[in-house]
Structure 1
Amino acid sequence: MRVALIGAGFIGSVHAVNLAAHPDVRFDVFDVDTTRARSVADRHGTGVVASLDDAFDPARFDAVLIASSTDTHAAHLRRAADAGLAVFCEKPVDLDLDRAREVSAHVAARGVPAMVDFNRRFDRDYAHLRELVRSGDLGDVELVQLTSRGPSMPPLEYVAVSGGQMRDQAVHFFDLARWITGAEPVEVTALGAALADPRITEHGDVDTSVTSVRMSTGALVQIDCVRRTAYGYDERIEVHGSAGMAEARRHRDGAVTRYGAGRVVEDGLHPGWFERVRPTYAAALDAFVTAVREGVAPSPSLADGLVAQAVAEAATAALTSGRTEPVLTVTP
């Protein structure tokens, strides 16, 4: 598969590593910053794409991987679809839900394979948790607890363009709750506070939140999100069912336990979110390549991305209104 990587920033560099390692992929790099594009390309012994016209040229490429800034995703998705190119896109399609829905409908109408990068679906432990739920071993799902606690505040410059904690951080877990349970989100209640850095309120955001989601089956989902811990990156999921409980525990950065007089010392958590989820990016890319090669629809789809975004919109509204907000039905 000939892939044009669009975007050579942090996440583009992550994808470049996995593209270079994949045996069925050849790729070149485009970025509006040509120096940055050249740096990534040279690192992996590949080429630089001179222009966006070239990046979307079906004579040169079979697919595009969109890792550019969020405000470019929608336009790039539309252009890929018009060129007949398969497309793998970082979330979100667009921060505006209506525009995201319109662009997703455009891509669907063109019939090109399209996948949104909710990479946590490719976490081994979360996939196992889903298998246990879907097998019926836990009985009927009644309560799901998800935790996402980052080690440090992101720069306020990032916060200003991120869309807020619900759209940027919690959205992954809205998607996981739906994917694991097989149920659809119905309504959302949310509480939030600015405890790590009060300046975040200048951007209409929070850094600490608890969100409750009622699913179509009646199951309840609770997600706690924190931007700053004092102990590393903490992510875990617990599913309680009528016949039992299963837990995907927090990951440590090692497996050594030291025993001494009067104390036991264990390895701590990963220093950041990327160290925790790094393998999922390669797994997501491989799933995309395999789906396109075999002629099946890639998953998660743009429609999956829209549902998670609709939950994030309802949660963001609930933070302000103090009410339980309905989740809009969205289809591309």
Structure 2
Amino acid sequence: MLRIGLLGAGRIAGVHATAISGNPGSTLAAVSDHFPENAKKLAAQYGSVARSTEDILSDRSIDAVLIATSTDTHSDLIEAATAVGKAVLCEKPVDLSLERARSCREAVSKTGMPVMIGFNRRFDPNFGALKAALDANEIGKAELLSITSFDPAPPPVAYIKVSGGLFRDMMIHDFDMANFIMGEPPVSIMAVGSSVVDREIGEAGDVDTAAVTMTYADGRIAVIKNSRRAVYGYDQRLELLGSEGLLQAQNMLENSVVKSTTSGVTGAKPTYFFLERYMTSYAAEWGAFVDAFAGGGTLPVTLDDGIAALAMAEAATRSVQSGQPVRVEDV
């Protein structure tokens, strides 16, 4: 039974607490947070205790930590945890700075401790089934990938200002998904973005609507579309055209009822947001971490994967600023 320290007690930490407690191979040993009362509240919900981050890291009986704190603390906590012999699952991104993320990787490599980055969408059963069908050569060679990811409503502008921007905060999931499906990063990225949802997001220096076209060494193409606002719900779709067919992963709906009358055919909206859409994938992600760490296997998502997606986010950011395509290797 792995004893886990949870660093962070916000909304996403609550999702992870559920996954940790629900897995037969792990137990939530302690919770910490910048605001101790938040840690006490979350710990009490799961029969755990609130402790300081320093206490959790120094406790040799705690095998691993799950980092769900603010992004600007990720690299420091990854380094601190691995330095004292703890395995890590850290929420994306590794850092807001690509240079800092790379220095983190160098520090971690000296410890030999495993670090997994939380790209939970790889563990969604629908996306996983699509990837399995591609790998089984059911549609031949992949040629054109299209990823749609629209949030139902934008976050507060205060969050936007510290998020690192849409490409590092939101589209980074889609960059990793493209790498997962296509099997490698692209050669170049061309991005366009604007602020048409909320004027204040633009004034804060970010975009809320963006599209990215990525090209690969062998000529394949991937397109990612992001928006901070889709009034009908959380739009999460993936489409892959191959030489011998098409694969699609459609939205998860609030229910499966379809009404057909003389007025037309109607159905339910997509689930509202990521808590409803991806709870299954968060549990599967944690299960994969436990299985790999406890069994001495290879982690399915690595620090290298996190840095690859962050490099793509940096390339997209530079492309928007310059209006020109950017080669990923140049960042």
Structure 1 distance, partners of 2:20, 2:284, is 11
Q: Pick from 45, 61, 65 the counterpart of residue 43 of structure 1.
A: 45
| Corresponding position of 2:224 | 223
Structure 1 distance, partners of 2:220, 2:211, is 17
Structure 1 distance, partners of 2:126, 2:211, is 23
Cα shift at 1:93: 1.3
Q: 1:234 to 1:157 in 2, by over 3 A?
A: same
Deviations 1:170-190 (A, max 9, x none): 111111111111132110001
Cα shift at 1:138: 1.4
Give, as a single letter, the amino acid of the residue that structure 1 aligns with 2:39. A
| Corresponding position of 1:129 | 130
Structure 1 distance, partners of 2:322, 2:293, is 43
Structure 1 distance, partners of 2:102, 2:206, is 24
Are residues 1:26 and 2:27 paired? yes
Secondary structure of the residue aligned to 2:20 is helix
Structure 1 distance, partners of 2:43, 2:227, is 35
Cα shift at 1:229: 1.3
Deviations 1:197-249 (A, max 9, x none): 12111222111111001123321000010101121111100001111111111
Query: Conserved in 2, the CA contact under 8 Å of 1:6 and 1:64?
Result: yes
Point out where structure 1 has 5 or more consecutive residues left out of the alignment: none
Are residues 1:64 and 2:97 paired? no
| Corresponding position of 2:154 | 153
Query: Conserved in 2, the CA contact under 8 Å of 1:6 and 1:29?
Result: yes
Query: Conserved in 2, the CA contact under 8 Å of 1:141 and 1:181?
Result: yes
| Corresponding position of 1:248 | 249
Give, as a single letter, the amino acid of the residue that structure 2 aligns with 1:3. I
| Corresponding position of 2:166 | 165
Secondary structure of the residue aligned to 1:185 is coil
Query: Conserved in 2, the CA contact under 8 Å of 1:74 and 1:103?
Result: yes
| Corresponding position of 1:320 | 321
Structure 2 distance, partners of 1:204, 1:298, is 36
Query: Conserved in 1, the CA contact under 8 Å of 2:253 and 2:268?
Result: yes
Structure 1 distance, partners of 2:137, 2:184, is 14
Structure 2 distance, partners of 1:13, 1:329, is 38
Deviates more, 1:258-267 or 1:152-161: 258-267
| Corresponding position of 2:187 | 186
Structure 1 distance, partners of 2:113, 2:191, is 36
Structure 1 segment 1-332 matched on structure 2, within 5 A: 1-27=2-28, 28-49=30-51, 51-328=52-329
Structure 1 distance, partners of 2:218, 2:59, is 44
Structure 2 distance, partners of 1:325, 1:132, is 31
Q: TM-score, normalised on structure 2? A: 0.96
Secondary structure of the residue aligned to 1:48 is coil
Q: 1:190 to 1:329 in 2, by over 3 A?
A: closer
| CA-atom RMSD in angstroms | 1.3
Deviations 1:147-197 (A, max 9, x none): 001111110011001111111111111111111111321100011111111
Give, as a single letter, the amino acid of the residue that structure 1 aligns with 2:117. V
Structure 2 distance, partners of 1:95, 1:202, is 20
Structure 2 distance, partners of 1:220, 1:67, is 33
Give, as a single letter, the amino acid of the residue that structure 2 aligns with 1:179. F
Identity among equivalent positions (%) equals 39
Deviates more, 1:24-33 or 1:77-86: 24-33
Query: Conserved in 2, the CA contact under 8 Å of 1:87 and 1:114?
Result: yes
Cα shift at 1:54: 1.4
Structure 2 distance, partners of 1:184, 1:134, is 17
Cα shift at 1:261: 3.5
Secondary structure of the residue aligned to 1:190 is strand
Q: TM-score, normalised on structure 1? A: 0.96
Cα shift at 1:262: 2.6
Query: Conserved in 1, the CA contact under 8 Å of 2:93 and 2:172?
Result: no
Structure 1 distance, partners of 2:248, 2:257, is 21
Query: Conserved in 2, the CA contact under 8 Å of 1:184 and 1:216?
Result: no
Structure 1 distance, partners of 2:55, 2:314, is 35
Cα shift at 1:58: 4.7
Deviates more, 1:111-120 or 1:262-271: 262-271
Point out where structure 2 has 5 or more consecutive residues left out of the alignment: none
Secondary structure of the residue aligned to 1:232 is coil
Cα shift at 1:329: 7.2
